[in-house]
Amino acid sequence: MVPSSNGHLWWQRGVVYQVYPRSFKDASGDGIGDLQGITSRLDYLRWLGVDAVWISPFYPSPMADFGYDITDHRGVHPRFGTLEDFDGLVAEAHRLGLRIILDYVPNHTSDEHPWFLESRSSRDDPKRDWYIWRDPASDGGPPNNWISVFGGPAWTFDAATGQYYYHAYLREQPDLNWRNPEVRVAMYDVLRFWLERGVDGFRVDALRQLVKDDRFRDNPPNPDRWPASPPYDALRPVYSTDRPEVHEAVREMSLVLDEGASPGERVLIGELYLPIERLVRYYGEGGSGVQLPMNLHLISTPWDAARLGDLIDAYEASLPQDGWPTWVLGNHDRSRIASRVGPAQARVAAMLLLTLRGTPTLYYGDELGMRDVPVPPEQVQDPYEKNVPGIGVGRDPVRTPMRWSGEDNAGFTSGSPWLPVGEESAEVNVEAQKRAPRSMLTLYRRLLSLRRSEPALTGGTYAPVKAADDLLAYAREKDERRFLVALNLGPGPRTLGDSGLGRGGRVVLSTFLDREGEAVGETLDLRGDEGLIAETTTLPGV
């Protein structure tokens, strides 16, 4: 694909929107979202102004981990529809100018996958080495001290064959052995299957888990663990994750995506919970890695102007020469942004996400200001919470149904929703916020429109601007178009002194949606919990 006139590819200019299929829109009435439901709402995503739709797993699965335990990487679970439904979704998305990105789950399968059933049938089975099997330790226990992300040992004993198998997550999710060339070939063919059906890229799940230490050494204790953290944090996973050999697999995935396509036409996104200095290695050398190693640090960094500024500066400084930034505020595994920072600051967070340099990813419902929905114990679905109860790790509250209207069940389903829609659904829904000129949805749409229309905000340079107290400020510039972004992360009014706006500066957008066109000068006054984008006549000094 040839870059656009501003020199950037679609996944660099664009905005990715994550859809969790179970919770987006139910067309069948069974209370669980499906592919036809997603298709019916693609016009909303086009109206909103996003460019690509990342769809979490919809493949055949026993649903031990709601689709991340796969029995057939090339099919559609009947609960979500059919392959024909998927083909129709892709066709409609492309007709509307939207790209489709799928979740690719290469690290593990379901324990009911035909491959694993063969693998565990006998030590001599040809597929035995497709998974990670080890003899017990000298005391008969697990081969080493590795811990499952979902709590408990990462090894399960198989009495029939007298060995343990490894699973980074649930025991129902055995890890594939990516040191086996046959496994790699089979999983690359999965990529080809979906590419032939027209998808535009993949988000690679659990990428850092893909290859394990060949000597299966014990992980060392984690000296930085805090008392209330999950059991997984007791050890530093230096031998079970982020091994050097992962990068060769990434390079091969990248080559598969380039088959029959122009360079950069398809995108590979990596889920990577890693420190920045290790995260950026996944770009590879000379574009041989993933185009977008997911930077998830906005989710975990304290909501403090100085800390956020340091994060942005460190990330920008660490990027390789051709590395394109990417930012994520929320996803299906972490608390929603409006719950983490509050509804007022969630508006400021929206402006931050959509004005930083790089490709942003939105999580469905965040554009409405949806918050975590309390789920009573008797309605808990998440296996993570069931395995590690009592420490607030459950993911159900962030996966509740999308709110389309103020009707029963928020217009998500005509049946009984699989999770509660929440008490705020009467006001926090698409229909109501479309009518409100200063709603969160209106703010997101305005931000997305501004980003799309101004090359400085999609492909321009980033430069920090000196600020104090609760203020975070930076400049974006391209082709003589200059913008100052000033964000007040506190509840009280603040002034950005010596802003460098010069004469003729004006407010382009306020998170309160009430100051457009207002003239500003050498200083910039912000109300509490306000973010501003101002068009400048002189670039702020940096």
The residues facing 496 across adjacent strands are 524
* Distance of alpha carbon 389 from alpha carbon 373, whole angstroms: 17
Would you call 458 helix, strand, or coil by DSSP? helix
Is residue 164 within 8 Å of residue 134, measured between CB atoms? yes
3-state secondary structure of 141: coil
Retrieve residue 481's tokens: 């178009």
Q: Which two tokens stand for residue 431?
A: 């229909």
The residues annotated with a catalytic role in the active site are 205, 259
Query: How are beta strands 292-293 and 201-204 bridged, if at all?
Result: unpaired
Close Cβ partners of 473 (under 8 Å, ≥ 6 residues apart):
464, 465, 466, 467, 484, 485, 486, 487, 496, 499, 540
d(CA 542, CA 540): 6
For residues 48 and 437, the answer to whether their CB atoms sit within 8 Å is: no
Integer-rounded Cα Rg, in Å, for the chain is 24
- Alpha helix locations (H) across 330-416? 337-341, 343-355, 383-387
d(CA 54, CA 359): 13
In angstroms, the CA 301 to CA 328 distance is: 12
Terminal CA-CA length for the chain: 36
> DSSP letter at 405?
-
CA angle 122, 127, 131 (to 5 degrees): 95
Query: And the tokens for 309?
Result: 């500024």
Other beta carbons within 10 Å of 509: 22
Cα 190–195–196 angle (5° rounding)? 100
Closest CA to 55 of 81, 71, 64, 47: 81
